[in-house]
Amino acid sequence: MIKKIAILTSGGDAPGMNAAIRAVVRMAVYNGLEVMGVRRGFAGLINGELFRMDRHSVSDIIQRGGTMLRTARCEEFKNEEVRQKAANILQAYGIDALVVIGGDGSFTGAKLLSKLGVAAVGIPGTIDNDLSYTDYTIGFDTALNTVHDAINKLRDTSTSHERVSVIEVMGRRCGDIALYAGLAGGAEGIIVPEKNFDKEELIRTILDGKNTGKMHNIIVLAEGVGGANELASFIENISGLETRATILGHIQRGGSPTVNDIVLASRLGAKAVEVLMKGETARVVGIRDNQIIDEDIDEALAKKRNFDDNLYEIAKILSL
Ligand code: ADP
């Protein structure tokens, strides 16, 4: 039986992390558990940056972007002695279990910490949607809406000037942001790390579009493939069409979470507490076919990512 849990956010931030924190704290309090917040991820944990939380600690954060607990990267956490220090601090506060909101790196940290006697559960918080065991991660939907809005604005100005617009989006090695936002934004080209990039085909698409009366060309490029500036120069040199590059960067990480992200974060936060109360450890929570699930961390991280080839083909056909 666990009595006291701690919660932290780690790695890259994502809109909806606050809603997940709120769900964990409120569900834990509802079930009679004590809760402590940890500031600045694993870095704050080894520094002893803990504070008591109650249901009011998470008032008015459900709609806010960022994370009230702040986040950090902590390279030293890969070192066993440092993790032992973290476990000692948690023990000193009588904490039996830790909720970690973050991506795959954070989950690995949580898994290793769980071997030192602290129960741990991970909640997927990353805009990249790069965790294969779950259909969606918290923050992905909000980032898509941010990118979609940017594409629409860039389309207006591209059309006015009859330009080609290359838009670089985040996602590390995962092309999901580019794919979904590109489809929704009617992009003529979507370039992702999962698919072979045929430069000549792209030039043909752009020129064919011009010849059939297209006023603009929107090319969405996932950051994992390469730089937007190089691609824009290449397109301009070969096609002769004026081409501008826009790197959306960190605006994709900010903003108020969408309803989808808030609902997902609330469901996952509630599930994380439920999993810990069952006495489980080294688990992650996620969503599959709209069911909230939990799974062993190692098994979850070992899953191979499934890129949606079908959606990619549809996006191509629809933008012809
Ligand atoms: P994300 O969780 O978004 O994938 P990172 O990969 O930067 O972000 O990981 C966040 C933090 O998780 C790291 O700064 C580190 O503290 C911890 N972490 C990552 N990988 C490991 C590892 N192999 N062993 C222990 N801790 C790790």
> Roughly how many angstroms between the first and final C-alpha of the chain, as a whole number?
59
- Evaluate: CB of 139 within 6 angstroms of ligand 1: no
Task: Report whether pLDDT(201) > 90.
Answer: yes
- Evaluate: CB of 103 within 6 angstroms of ligand 1: yes
**CA distance linking residue 100 with residue 106, whole number of Å:** 7
Cα-to-centroid distance, 105 and ligand 1 (Å): 3
Positions marked catalytic: 128
Structural tokens at position 56: 């009011």
- Evaluate: CB of 67 within 6 angstroms of ligand 1: no
Cα-to-centroid distance, 239 and ligand 1 (Å): 43
Model pLDDT for residues 133-181, shown as the tens digit of each residue: 999 999 999 999 999 999 999 999 999 999 999 999 999 999 999 999 9
Cα-to-centroid distance, 87 and ligand 1 (Å): 16
Ligand 1 atom having least distance to the Cα of 76: 16
Model pLDDT for residues 92-125, shown as the tens digit of each residue: 999 999 999 999 999 999 999 999 999 999 999 9
Q: Which residues are CB-neighbours of 14 under 8 A, at least 6 positions away? A: 125, 126, 127, 137, 138, 139, 140, 142, 143, 253
- In the chain, the domains with their CATH numbers are 4-139+257-302 (3.40.50.450), 141-253 (3.40.50.460)
- Evaluate: CB of 140 within 6 angstroms of ligand 1: no
Q: Please enumerate, by residue number, every residue annotated as part of a binding site.
A: 12, 22-26, 73-74, 103-106, 126-128, 155, 163, 170-172, 186-188, 214-216, 223, 244, 250-253
**CA distance linking residue 136 with residue 264, whole number of Å:** 9
Claim: this prediction has a pTM higher than 0.75: yes
160: number of Cβ within 10 Å: 10
Q: What is the pLDDT of residue 244?
A: 97
